[in-house]
Structure 1
Amino acid sequence: MKKSYYLFNPGRLSRRDNTLKFTPVDEEGNEGQARHIPVEGVNNLYVFGSLDTNSALYNFLGKNLVNVHFFDYYEHYTGSFMAKEYLLAGKMQIDQTNHYLNPEKRIVIARKLIEGAAFNMLKNLKYYDNRGKDIYPQIQLIEQYSQGIEAFKEVPELMGIEGNIRQVYYEAFDEIVTDFEMNGRSKQPPANEVNALISFGNMLCYTLCLDMIYHTQLNPTISFLHEPGTRRYSLALDLAEVFKPLLVDRTIFKVLNKKILKASDFEEKLNKILLKEKGRKAFLKAWDERLNETIKHRSLGRSVSYKHLVKLECYKLAKHIMGLEEYKPFKMWW
């Protein structure tokens, strides 16, 4: 089974036959013990330290359909190396573009994305409200906002209501999370530990959605809710909205409330709160565990991982674009 690998230390990545060889290198240029990873077991690489490699290695990764995602010192996502687009199809590209260019078709998909995101945020809040957390006022307000989604005719208006919903949703985090305070959403820079985890987790969710899109005929640069940009895969941003409550936020609640992460796992640098390496590894371990959790799928009649739910969402969106089946956004049913 293929899996993700996280490279935290600076080092050199090379090819040895059909194996990836990673050699850590310290600040003085001294090499550590090399690690060998069979390429057939690699789904993607997440690079958090400086990486020394060459074009031959990227050719090798491309042929084996291994994507590489890069993060800078401050845990910001900086870009990806995506292997050749082996599933892109002309008809899908035309239909997807037409759905973006046609305001009536685009707004239908955009509304569904916001509907799914709002439902899943409410699902989280109701879970904790049933366990004694005082967050019913936030639930009521989000339900009121959600009732008006169908009335909006323009995407910017929808983005506005999504922002209002998420702001109210984040207000409940101070009640849900123990020992830490969020005090509202802050991004650049994240002002505290909770905001740092949200930013880091959202980037992981974005790259996950990008990987899943890559395995379908969808074009990741043509989106419906977020405006396509010249240097971003905006469709991944669209899908991430639906899955952040399930994947990112539930992981944050777990690592903080179960004290998997403590205040000592964070540090402040240049007015930014960052995860230390130990804390980053602990969060990524919890993140991988979350992705590998399984649930009995009601339509398929079998258990699927949370990670696979994202790929199924891509297939549903593709069917809608091709006119085969109306898109219904993922909504937590458990």
Structure 2
Amino acid sequence: MLRHMKYPLFITQHGELRRENNALVFSGELVKRVLPLGQINEIHCLARVSLTSGAIDILSEAGVPVHFYTTKSDYKGSFVNDASPRGKLHLAQAEHYLDGEKRLYIAEEIVKGMQNTMAFVLSRWGVNPVKLNSVEVSGGSVEELMGREAELWTHFYRYFGEAIGVEDFKRTRRPPEDEVNAMISYANAVVYGLAFSSAVKAGLDPSIGYLHSVSERRHSLPLDLADVFKPLYVFTTVKALVTEKKMKKSDFTKKGKAVYLSREGKRKLLEEEHELPFYDGLRGEAS
């Protein structure tokens, strides 16, 4: 018997999650809906969403993590109820980080995965990524591998720019300075959140990565994992939105030099990126 598939739920409207009559309910600015917990494996709050104690209880019982982002799409934090002991796994994970040879091997595999995913995506676009494929993704240190990663992204950005008809495409962050970069930054944040959730569900410590060093600022393991999947999920999505002209000027907002997605723009990107059921924050429809 096939198991019923569960999907991530994305909330793009400000509101509150609470428990009513043993059900999880979202109350937003424009709508109130009962959420089908049996179909949800994680929730991503891409707007200002608060949780009542009742909602925390029902989410804990269902084992559904909730991830929060700022309105500018930066990952903020998570509610995860996992009481399972993971000591041995976390010790092994730390051992592989502290052992230089083991860490280098894992970091190389991550960079190889990035290169393979980039090449696969470009081949689907009809591009022969000669320069990208020529990058040697081995190195004598993690720092050297980080340089290889940067070189891969430089080539990939150039190929991506050509694919969407933008000469000399430049990646801008914090803040994104044009519509294409606004879409990339937002989609990157979502993929980071999904990678974080996957690491936690696997019982791994998200703070211990291998290509990205342990940091006080961000969890490094999701950064490692997300980079492998960004070409497939982020750039394929953005290319489709640009080349098929699905985005309008009203799907973006400007604040000085910064460009961000509007609520409707976020909805369009999520729909294109995942093609999964998610909560429509404007219309209040579950699809």
Q: Same fold (TM over 0.5)?
A: yes
Match of 1:17 in 2: 21
TM (norm. structure 1) is 0.75
1:286 equivalent to 2:272? Answer yes
Pairwise CA distance, 1:263: 3.6
* Secondary structure of 2:125 counterpart: helix
* Change in 2 beyond 3 A, CA 1:49/1:126: closer
Structure 2 counterparts to residues 82-93 of structure 1, below 5 A? 82-86=80-84, 88-93=85-90
With normalisation by structure 2, the TM-score equals: 0.87
State the AA in 1 paired with 2:242.
Answer: L
Report the equivalent of 1:120.
117
Tell me what 2:280 maps to.
none
**Residue 101 (structure 1) shift:** 0.3
Shift of 1:55: 3.4
Task: Describe the SS at the equivalent of 1:79.
Answer: strand
Query: Where in structure 1 are there 5+ consecutive unaligned residues?
Result: 26-31, 131-135, 292-334
CA deviations 1:4-63 (Å, max 9, x no partner) are 2222222222102331111124xxxxxx54211133332222223322333342233223
User: Secondary structure of 1:172's match?
Assistant: helix
Match of residue 81 from structure 1: 79
SS class of match (2:205): coil
What's the CA shift for 1:175? Answer: 1.2
> Which residue type is aligned with residue 12 of structure 1?
E
Asked whether the equivalents of residues 18 and 53 of structure 2 are also in contact (C-alpha less than 8 Å), the reply is: no
Counterpart contact for 1:247–1:290, Cα < 8 Å: no
2:162 aligned partner: 175
Per-residue CA deviations over 1:129-185 (Å, capped at 9, x if unaligned) read: 45xxxxx5xx2322222x2x22x111111111101110121012221114x667311
Partner of 1:144: 134
Tell me the matched-pair count.
Answer: 274
Contact persistence 1:71–1:79 (CA under 8 A)? yes
Provide the secondary structure at the position in 1 that maps to 2:76: strand
Q: Please say if residues 66 and 82 of structure 1, whose CA atoms lie closer than 8 Å, have aligned partners that are also in contact.
A: yes
What is the aligned partner in structure 2 of residue 60 from structure 1? 58
Verify: 1:258 aligned to 2:244, yes or no.
yes
Contact 2:107/2:142, CA 8 A, preserved across alignment: yes
Displacement over 4 Å in runs of 4+: none
CA deviations over 1:200-230 (Å, ceiling 9, x no partner): 1111111111222222232222111111223
Partner amino acid for 1:289?
E
Structure 2 spans left out of the alignment, 5+ residues = 278-287
CA RMSD, 1 decimal: 2.3
Counterpart among 139, 144, 153 of residue 157 in structure 1: 144
Alignment counterpart, residue 195 of structure 2, candidates 194, 197, 209: 209
Secondary structure of the residue that 2:88 maps to in structure 1? helix
Greater RCO, 1 or 2 (C-alpha within 8 Å, sep 6+): 2
**Match among 176, 182, 200 for residue 186 of structure 2:** 200
Determine the C-alpha separation between the residues in 2 that align with 1:264 and 1:56.
37
Tell me the percent identity: 32
